Amino acid sequence: MMRNKILITGASSGLGEEMARRFAAQGRDLALCARRGARLEALRDELRSAHPGVTVAIRELDVTDHEAVVRVFGELRDELGGLDRVIVNAGLGKGARIGTGRADANLATARTNFVGALSQCEAALQIFREQNFGHLVLVSSISADRGLPGPKAAYSASKAGVSALGEALTAELVKSPIAVTTLLPGYIATEMSGKAGDSDSMTASLDEGVTAMVDAIDKESRRVALPGTKWKAIDLALRFLPHAWTSRFV
């Protein structure tokens, strides 16, 4: 099914920004949300210039503010004349070793990545249940497969929550007109991944990563580790092989 009205959170940079470019190039109408309003405005102007027939609506949004999430999703639905797909993409990658005095960073990551994702799911599914169709996409991470040590602990735990949420909603809605997709990206070159210190040899280009994401989203796959067979294999290894065999991956 062609989903022509797409809402993307975390759209001011990285994966969200590039997904917006790809979907606009396909002629889809977009509702873009992020905390950084100036970057959203620049992206809107770019997309309108490159694709004059595409509607691009924007809103500043902090996904940890549940009431704002519900209000903004409703406003954007009305502005676009409906929503076919919501991509829950907003996230933080900061963190610190637990117990070293930087609880603020870990709590912010947990609130944004998991509680914020839950708020977005609540708002999106309220809309989809009312209209009796829609496609919910959750952007998790390969780190959801295995708790990561050190400064990535809170991040991996938050993404495990997102994956579990996607699994639960897939099971609940499998026989309904509402589709659910959970994406587990490996290392993809973004501003966030650069700060996280991900391995250069394992990191896919932004083009490769987002191409795989958009393809999986449009196929409405239920659960996909990506990009490529390498990350599918790592996903299986991290979930099913003994820790002693997979410690080098984490």
Give residue 155's pLDDT: 97
pLDDT in the model for residue 83: 98
Domain covering 5-249: architecture: 3-Layer(aba) Sandwich (3.40)
Q: What positions carry a catalytic annotation?
A: 155
Give the span between the Cα atoms of 136 and 78, in whole angstroms.
18
Q: Specify the pLDDT at position 197.
A: 52
For 177, other C-beta atoms within 10 Å of its C-beta total 13
Taking the whole predicted model, whether its pTM rises above 0.85 is answered as yes
Strands (E), 20-149: 29-34, 56-60, 85-88, 134-139
* Residue-level pLDDT at 202: 84
10-residue stretch averages of pLDDT, the chain, 250 residues long:
93 98 98 97 98 98 98 98 98 96 97 98 98 98 95 97 98 98 96 60 93 98 96 93 72
Which of 180, 171, 202 lies closest to 189, judged by CA?
Answer: 202
**What pLDDT score does 1 carry?**
75
CA angle 235, 110, 116 (to 5 degrees): 95
Task: Report H helices in 26-65.
Answer: 37-50
Sequence ranges of the domains in the chain: 5-249
Query: What are 190-224's pLDDT values in tens digits?
Result: 877 655 555 567 899 999 999 999 999 999 999 99
